[in-house]
Chain A
Amino acid sequence: MHILLLLHLTILFVFPPLLLGIIGKTKAFFAGRIGPPLLQPYFDIFKLMHKESVYSVTTNWIFMAAPMVSTAAILAAGTLMPLADFKPPIQFWGDMVLFVYLFALARFVIVLAALDTGSSLEGMGASREATFGCLSEITMFLNLTILALLSRSLSLSEIFLGGLSSSWLQVGPVLILVVVSFFLILLVENSRVPIDDPETHLELTMIHEVIVLDHSGIDLAYVLYGKAVKLFLFASMLVSVIITFRVHDFLIDTAFFFFELIVFAVLIGIVESTMARLRLNKVPYLLFSAFIFSIFGFTVILVRGGH
């Protein structure tokens, strides 16, 4: 049993940067380039670990603590989330709420750190991040509530480990709504392309990237790593909603799970290479539609009394 928990943690800690690598490779492929090696994110993080951090004189301990706290919060959220058939190390009734709020905590400290620098650009980015964050958080909660209603459980491990197995047959259309809404939220939360361009270096147009501009060295490594883990968690959550089918063979299921994740990363890469970034003032509309999708599904489930 302990071996399984250990395996869960290993996947959680080791696998995430690979997703970023796959996305980068896909985008390079579509742009007709060879692109960085698949393991480039690992190299980046490793390199940054060995660099010195530079702190502005106007900052205080909040700025220094933020990257660590946020990464820790995201990893803690990861310990609540089942991956493939691995049970999470921690599970209790209602961990769903904690899960969402750990992400909120991660965002909160990063925003605080951005404000702490006193830079006007970072303040702007912080306000955007907070605005979009509060819109996406509601939707996230609604989506999880729908899943909870469908699987009659408030615990992530029960929802994703078999709780939804019959739902696709009963309320498939509603689950499609949830999936679409989840996908939009994923793009927003992880500042992917139609919302935010992770590659850009024009501060005025950035959302997430601009608030971590002042971090350097190991702090930046933390931020990068935390971002990768967050993307990984969202992706695995979405994948477990979409594909509830299991052959009940431990190895095959696990391998299939990784395969799904990789396909998903390629999908994100395709979306990023085929779409242009939205104008900033259009982003709320995207969030509104995600919200409406999920509240639509929520109402349907509520009126029918769940299953």
Chain B
Amino acid sequence: MNVWLDAILILVVILGLFIVASTRLGTMIKIFSWQSLLLGCVPFLMYAQNMEFYIIIVSLVAIVLRGLIMPYFLFWAIRHVSIRTEIRPFIGLGATLLLSGLSIVSSFLLASKLVFPISISSDMLIPSSFSLIIMGFLLLVGRTKAISQVVGYLVLENGIFLFAILLLRKMPLLVEMGILLDLFIAAVVMGIVVNHISAEFNNTDTTALATLKD
């Protein structure tokens, strides 16, 4: 059993908890950046014995795109819209924290029921990715500020990336890079739309986006 891998995975999930628990947008983005950097290290630990060139490429690209460029871009976005904190989330902090705790427990139980066809280096990888996905969902649903929703989407993606690490050797490089790039552009487009929102509505509260309904 790979203790270091376990430690990193636990840390990644705990950082997810911190993101869920914080209301300051700057803090959220910083923690997200740390989380992404750690995630980028996971492939190196997992495939330490038989490193291949394109695994290195994919992890490096992930580290640079998510860990460095994305936080930089998000900081640019919050400077632009001059919003610092999430004042009144839909789901309160305590409830979100408890729900994420529940998500961790349930994803571990779920993952223990699903038998992975081949042996993998850590049995914590799948449950951690599930719990990150659920935490991303919680942020997307529970927050009102558009930027926190973007961070939620990114956390969700981090969870998916964590799952994808399992399949790094099975997926062609082209596809892997395409997906990485796609997700990255998606987040950038979201950031740009956030700026449009703030220009048009003078704030980025998505509760203001409620004119279209039946």
Contact = CB atoms under 8 A, between A and B. Distances in A.
Q: Do chains A and B touch in the complex (CB under 8 A)?
A: yes
Interface of A: 169-174, 176-177, 284-285, 288-289, 291-293, 295-296, 299-300, 302-304
Contacts of B104: 292, 295-296, 299
Contacts of B178: none
Given A285-B93, A288-B98, A289-B97, A296 B13 contact: yes
Contact of B101 (A176, A295, A300): A295
B31 to A, nearest CB: 14
Interface residues of B, number: 26
Contacts of A170: 1, 3
Interface string B8-40: 011101100100010000000000000000000
B6 A173 contact: yes
A176 to B, nearest CB: 7
Given A285-B21, A304-B123, A292 B101 contact: yes
A177 B124 CA distance: 15
Contacts of A289: 17, 21, 97
Given A300-B108, A303-B109, A292 B10 contact: no
Given A285-B94, A292-B17, A172 B101 contact: no
A170 to B, nearest CB: 7
Contacts of B124: 300
29 contacts: A169-B3, A170-B1, A173-B7, A173-B10, A174-B6, A176-B10, A284-B94, A285-B21, A285-B93, A285-B97, A288-B98, A289-B17, A292-B17, A292-B100, A292-B101, A292-B104, A295-B105, A296-B10, A296-B14, A296-B105, A299-B108, A299-B109, A300-B10, A300-B108, A302-B108, A303-B109, A303-B111, A303-B123, A303-B127
Nearest to B124: A300
Contacts of B14: 177, 293, 296
Contacts of A293: 14
Contacts of B17: 289, 292
B207 interface: no
A258 B213 CA distance: 68
Contacts of A303: 108-109, 111-112, 123, 127
Contacts of A292: 17, 97-98, 100-101, 104
A206 B100 CA distance: 30
B21 A173 contact: no
A3 to B, nearest CB: 41
B56 to A, nearest CB: 25
Contacts of B123: 303-304
A284 B92 CA distance: 12
B179 to A, nearest CB: 29
B52 to A, nearest CB: 27
Nearest to B112: A303
Nearest to A291: B101
Nearest to B13: A296
B115 to A, nearest CB: 13
A296 B17 CA distance: 11
B108 A176 contact: no
A177 B104 CA distance: 14
Contacts of B1: 170
B94 A172 contact: no
A288 B112 contact: no
A144 B21 CA distance: 26
Interface in B66-106: 93-94, 97-98, 100-101, 104-105
8 closest residue pairs by CB, A with B = A292-B101, A173-B7, A299-B108, A303-B112, A288-B97, A173-B6, A173-B10, A299-B105
A224 B1 CA distance: 47
B192 to A, nearest CB: 33
Given A169-B3, A285-B21, A288-B94, A177 B10 contact: yes
Nearest to B11: A173
A303 B104 CA distance: 12
Contacts of A177: 10, 14
B178 to A, nearest CB: 34
Contacts of B112: 303
Contacts of A173: 3, 6-7, 9-11
Nearest to B97: A288
